Structure 1
Amino acid sequence: MSQTPLPASIDDTLGLMDGAGYVADRSLATVLHLALKMRRPLFLEGEAGVGKTEIAKVLAATLGRDLIRLQCYEGLDIASAVYEWNYPAQMVEIRVAEAAGKTDHADLSKSIFDERFLIKRPVLQALESSNGAAPVFLIDELDRADEAFEAFLLEVLADNQVSIPELGTITADTPPIVIITTNRTREIHDALKRRCLYHWVDYPDAERELEIVRRKVPGASERLAADVVAFVQKLRSEEDLFKQPGVAETLDWATALSELNEIALDPDMASDTLGVLLKYQDDIERVRGSKLRQIVDDIRKDAPRAQSVPAV
């Protein structure tokens, strides 16, 4: 994989993200540049679907680094996140040694607790550089993991090392580029946050979201893209929904309508496809019907006359 030097300035960071199709604002580019320059983990917080995970993916792709992803979940433990021993292979090694008459327990213990039998999970993989280049280590949705695992991460983030009782301490020659994301389903302890630079990833404004749709859904007409973005922006600002649609849902909806050959937002088709945009039945019922038609009518009134659909 071809490696790219780290961006030398905020503008270079903006250009790097833009070149990969990620429409970032300057505040995000600034904190990302600082995280790279200061070699500090970047802690990204925000609602689901606003593009936090994508930042790590884009960073790995543009810098030519390996992306190592640790998807967090309730009950995540050391064996799943850091390492475990290949017990079946160790048992075979023991049986072979016994058959050969090798019964010295010290030698046998040293033999089976060798790196040959070590299964490396994401944390351990992230501490190993590939061709001298540190990987991008994405710790995704940390808020889903237990507090005990969060406490374990302090050693990794503070010293870029993990301790394996049978082998000792393994330290990274080059610290990984760490991106931590959380959807804020619970608070993360200050001790971990202090080791990171922080950025809140918010929903984009209309202009930036429209540019995202243009780039990610090139098959959508200009009118459809503008209508979809205007509709979603109104939902976020005016409707008290259980789960506001993120950018990911905006892109899904624009793609779905484009696949159905829609060139503008039609109330009936919007109603039929609302499940692409909203993921809870209560939210769908709240928006569907007269409310949906009112939003579409408002969009029509606000849209520039130049964008109107030509008569057939």
Structure 2
Amino acid sequence: MSASATPAAALPASVAETERLLAAGGYVADRALATTVHLALAMGRPLFLEGEPGTGKTEIAKVLASGLGRRLVRLQCYDGLDLQAAAYEWNHARQLMAIRLAEASGAAHSTEGRAALEAGIYDQRFLQERPLLSALSGSPAVLLIDELDRADEPFEAFLLEILADFQLSIPELGTIRAETPPIVVLTSNRTREVHDAIRRRCLYQWVDYPDAARERAILASRQPDLPAALSAQIVAFVQALRSGDFFKYPGVAETIDWAAALRALDARELEPVLVEETVGALLKYQDDIAKLRGAEAARLVEAAKEASRPKPVIPF
């Protein structure tokens, strides 16, 4: 760790402390999720989070990094991702320059000089760190392997050594082990099944859409200036959408974006016209947007207002 690095904070000692750590970062977790996160931290195991897009999986890694004072190292997975892009790559230009300088100086003309050059050409100074190697070296880190399901299945084999032993074997150099094992968070939107070998090395948690009460708490945390009545209507509207016949349901991220859009327009309550004008912040496919036009928007707005009205207290 460099002299200027901020020391990492101590890990939470209980599930309650983990809940508070997440809440301090604006993440409202249910008890099951907080427990799994706590166990992953306490046991030093990778955390595998699976669920629909927009349910807050990636945000957990960000909040942990911020709350624990660690670097966030993010590997965004994609089709065709390979070891060079994910872990390390040799700087061939610098290696070639070193060879030419040795030849020009005459150092490579002797047997001993050639042997020294061959031994030194794969020195660590020629190694370019990519996210996986970066997370194992330097100051304590949170390694986020995001959307693993987007990568090709063979890529998963590259991860097994890191997930099991927090180390990376480089044939030309040797094995690099983490002095402080990173906190590893893997996410998947389940566009394909992740192999059992990955799952066995991790603690698993399915991250679902929040219920209405938790979504209201999330919105209060992220949009504290939102009028309470409007916040309740937004959550009721989104909850109703998720029970409808739509291609892609809005996630928590979309709920927050839509609330911010309505707040920017100084809205005080939902209206059908306002919904149609701002629906692009909530739904991302034209077929879904078309379903929400006209009478359907009006119906859901009225249902959301009704669901969010305080219920009268009946005295005994």
The two structures have a TM-score, normalised by structure 1, of 0.94
| Corresponding residue of 1:124 | 133
User: CA separation in 1, counterparts of 2:143 and 2:182?
Assistant: 6
| Corresponding residue of 1:181 | 187
User: CA separation in 2, counterparts of 1:297 and 1:35?
Assistant: 43
| Corresponding residue of 1:106 | 115
* Residue identity matched to 2:246: L
Query: Could you say what the CA RMSD is over the residues aligned between the two structures, in angstroms?
Result: 1.3
* Structure 2 gap segments, 5+ residues each: 1-5, 312-316
Q: Does 1:53 align with 2:62?
A: no
User: CA separation in 1, counterparts of 2:42 and 2:219?
Assistant: 31
Q: Does 1:68 align with 2:73?
A: yes
**Deviation at 1:211?**
1.2
**Deviation at 1:301?**
2.5
* Residue identity matched to 1:6: L
User: CA separation in 1, counterparts of 2:305 and 2:231?
Assistant: 13
| Corresponding residue of 1:92 | 97
| Corresponding residue of 2:207 | 201
**Deviation at 1:173?**
2.4
User: CA separation in 1, counterparts of 2:35 and 2:304?
Assistant: 34
**Deviation at 1:283?**
0.6
User: CA separation in 1, counterparts of 2:115 and 2:190?
Assistant: 48
Matches within 5 A, 1:14-53: 14-53=19-58
- Contact 2:283–2:289 (Cα < 8 Å) also in 1: yes
User: CA separation in 2, counterparts of 1:137 and 1:300?
Assistant: 42
**Deviation at 1:197?**
0.5
Worse overlay, 170-179 or 135-144: 170-179
* Residue identity matched to 1:110: A
| Corresponding residue of 2:3 | none
**Deviation at 1:156?**
1.4
Change (3 A) 1:36 1:264: same
Q: Deviations over 1:140-199 (max 9, x none)?
A: 000001111111111211222111111011122232111100000000011110111000
| Match among 160, 163, 185 for residue 157 of structure 1 | 163
User: CA separation in 1, counterparts of 2:166 and 2:273?
Assistant: 55
| Match among 252, 257, 262 for residue 257 of structure 1 | 262
| Corresponding residue of 1:235 | 241
- Contact 2:236–2:304 (Cα < 8 Å) also in 1: yes
**Deviation at 1:305?**
5.7
| Match among 189, 197, 207 for residue 191 of structure 1 | 197
How many residues were matched structurally? 302
The two structures have a TM-score, normalised by structure 2, of 0.93
Question: What secondary structure does 1:241 align onto?
Answer: coil
* Residue identity matched to 2:132: V
Q: Deviations over 1:246-268 (max 9, x none)?
A: 00000000000110111111110
- Contact 2:75–2:132 (Cα < 8 Å) also in 1: yes
- Contact 2:229–2:308 (Cα < 8 Å) also in 1: no
User: CA separation in 2, counterparts of 1:108 and 1:270?
Assistant: 68
**Deviation at 1:106?**
2.3
* Residue identity matched to 1:102: A
User: CA separation in 2, counterparts of 1:268 and 1:259?
Assistant: 16
User: CA separation in 1, counterparts of 2:95 and 2:225?
Assistant: 54
Q: Does 1:215 align with 2:224?
A: no
**Deviation at 1:92?**
1.4
User: CA separation in 2, counterparts of 1:87 and 1:220?
Assistant: 54
Worse overlay, 196-205 or 86-95: 86-95
| Corresponding residue of 1:148 | 154
Percent identity, aligned pairs only? 59
* Residue identity matched to 1:94: I
Q: Deviations over 1:12-69 (max 9, x none)?
A: 1111111121111111110111111111101000000110000000001111111111
| Match among 224, 232, 236 for residue 226 of structure 1 | 232
